Structure 1
Amino acid sequence: MNQNVLEQKKKVVSEIKEKLERAQSVVLVDYRGLTVENVTELRNKYREAGVEYKVYKNTLMRFAFNELGMKDFDEQLNGPSGIAMCYDDVVATAKITNEFAKTNDKLKIKAGLAEGKVLDVEGVKALANVPSREVLLGQLAGVLQANIKNLAYMLSQVSEKNGGEVVEEAQTSDEN
C-alpha cells in the first residue's frame, strides 16, 4: 500500500475517533435503497438540527470504534453504513433518524451510542421517544411555576384566615 494512502486513512480514522469522542449521540444506519432525493432530505433534516451525517468506509469506522474500545459495532459495520453524530443534543440524532425511518422503510437503524453507552435498534427507538432537552426544561419550568403559584395561594389563604387574629394580638400587646 502506498504510504500516502496509508497516511490519509490514518487521518480519517483519527477524524472519526475525535468526532465519536465529542458526540453526545451517534446513530449508525444502513441507507441501501434510498434515492438521492431521500438522502438529501435526510441530510437537510440532520443539518437543521445540528446533526452531522457522514459516510465512511466500514473498515475505517471499525478501526475508530475499536480504538475507543467499542467493539460492539463490529458486526453492525457491514453493507452501506452512514453515521449521524450530534455534539450538543442526546436525543436529536435518534429522533430524526427514527422519524425518517418511519416514512422511508429503506433506511434501517443499525445501532447507536448515547453519552458513551451502546444502544441496539430498540434502544435508539426508545431514545427517539424521549422529549428534547428544550421540551423537558419547559415542562420542568411549568411544574415549578405551578408549584410556586400554589404555594403563594396557600400562603395568602393562611394570611387571610389568620390576619385578623395576628392584628388583634399585635394590638393587645401594644395596649399592655
Structure 2
Amino acid sequence: MDRTAKADLVSTLNGVFNHSAVVVVAHYKGLTVADMQKLRSQMKQAGATVKVAKNSLAGIALEGTDVASIKPLLKGPTLLAYSGDPVAAAKVAVDFAKTNDKLVILGGAMGTTSLNPDGVKALASLPSLDELRAKLVGLIQAPATKIAQLSTAPAAKLARVFGAYAKKDEAA
C-alpha cells in the first residue's frame, strides 16, 4: 500500500469514527472467508459495517475522535464494526459471536463512553432504533383507539337496552 492510499484510508477511517454512534472491536483470528462474508452481510442488513484495517493506521485515524478510547484494543487481528444506530453493530457482533467462537469481542466505544465486552453485550440487548420507533407509534396510537372505544361504548349500550326492551314487549 503506497503512502497516498494509506493517507486516504486514515482519512476515511477518521470520518467513520467521527460519524459512527458505536464502534465495536473484535478479534477475528480463525474466521474463514465464508464466515467473514456472512458477518459482513448480517452487518449490512442491520445497517452496520465491518472493516478490517491495519492497527497502526486505525490508531492514527482514532486521534482526535470521541472513540479514541478503543486504541488500546487494537492489538492482533482486529476488526472494527460500526454503525450510525447505537445498537445495530453491537447486536450483530454479539449474535455472531454466540454462534461462532472464533469472533471474540474485545470492547468498543459509544461516543466518549468506553465499553468493555460486557458493556457491548448489554448494549446489544437493548432494542434497536426501529423497534423503539414501533413501540412509540404503538403507544401513541393506543390512546386514540381507547377514546374511539369509549365514545362508541355508550351508544352500543343504549342499543342493547332498547333491543332488550323491544324483545320484552314482543314476548308480552
Give me the TM-score of the superposition, normalised by structure 2. 0.79
Distance 1:70 1:46 in 2: 20
1:56-83, Cα deviation, whole Å (9 max, x unpaired):
1111111111232644223201010111
Match of residue 16, structure 2, among 9, 16, 19:
19
Q: Which runs of 5+ in 2 are unaligned?
A: 158-172
Distance 1:143 1:69 in 2: 34
Which residue of structure 2 aligns with residue 63 of structure 1?
60
Q: How does 1:3-14 map to 2 (within 5 A)?
A: 5-14=2-11
Q: In terms of mean alpha carbon deviation, does 47-56 or 74-83 score higher?
A: 47-56
Distance 1:12 1:24 in 2: 20
Q: In terms of mean alpha carbon deviation, does 102-111 or 133-142 score higher?
A: 133-142
Q: How does 1:82-97 map to 2 (within 5 A)?
A: 82-87=79-84, 89-97=85-93
Which residue of structure 2 aligns with residue 50 of structure 1?
47
* Deviation, structure 1 residue 93: 0.6
Q: What's the secondary structure of 1:14's corresponding residue?
A: helix
Q: What's the secondary structure of 1:118's corresponding residue?
A: strand
Match of residue 130, structure 2, among 124, 129, 134:
134
Which residue of structure 2 aligns with residue 117 of structure 1?
113
Q: How does 1:67-86 map to 2 (within 5 A)?
A: 67-68=64-65, 70-86=67-83
Q: What's the secondary structure of 1:26's corresponding residue?
A: strand
Distance 1:121 1:59 in 2: 22
Letter in 2 for 1:16: L
Distance 2:21 2:66 in 1: 17
CA RMSD of aligned residues (A): 2.4
1:22-65, Cα deviation, whole Å (9 max, x unpaired):
21222111101112221111111112223221111111111111
For the 8 Å contact 1:90–1:115, the answer to whether it is kept is no
Q: 1:81 to 1:145 in 2, by over 3 A?
A: same
Distance 2:109 2:124 in 1: 12
Letter in 2 for 1:12: L
> Aligned residues, how many?
157
Q: Which runs of 5+ in 1 are unaligned?
A: 162-176
